[in-house]
Structure 1
């Protein structure tokens, strides 16, 4: 009886070792393109809500260039004094983190 139990234990150990060595991991990589294409627009084409948000957040800022994408998100190149920055806003003047 001891030999039968010992054989069963050895057999189970061998099977579990075989299963452990054949386990592999599958890695899936998903790429999401965050950058969208922006088209340059004139300062007059920028909605009033975006201009108001710009002046509220950055008093005295000058809008150098404005761009818009198909989602109506605005990329604004601004200058405040001698510093330049690029900020992003939605059509309602809410700031976006890009």
Structure 2
């Protein structure tokens, strides 16, 4: 009986040695944000930033997109609440 239990433990142990997790280290994630004609940009003009600071004290700019008409779609956080604001290149707020 001991030999049976011992051999079963050895067989089960050897099966678990072959189970491996494969990690692919060469994955490249490329994202292209083209939402409604908007393309993601790294920053916004100073006039847009000033306009947002005046309209929403304590605003934090998270992400920004621009379209061909130089209208900006900006994801902002105000008092812990995220929202999307649309402006033109001069800082005039189009939509809240």
TM-score of the two chains, using structure 1 as the length reference: 0.59
Bigger radius of gyration, 1 or 2?
Answer: 1
How many residues are paired up?
62
Instruction: Tell me which residue corresponds to 2:46.
Output: 48
Note the residue ranges of structure 1 that are not aligned, 5 or more in a row.
1-34
Report the structure, 1 or 2, having the larger helix content: 1
Deviation >3 Å, runs of 4+? none
Instruction: Tell me which residue corresponds to 2:13.
Output: none
TM-score of the two chains, using structure 2 as the length reference: 0.60
Instruction: Tell me which residue corresponds to 1:94.
Output: 92
Note the residue ranges of structure 2 that are not aligned, 5 or more in a row.
1-34
Report the structure, 1 or 2, having the larger strand content: 2
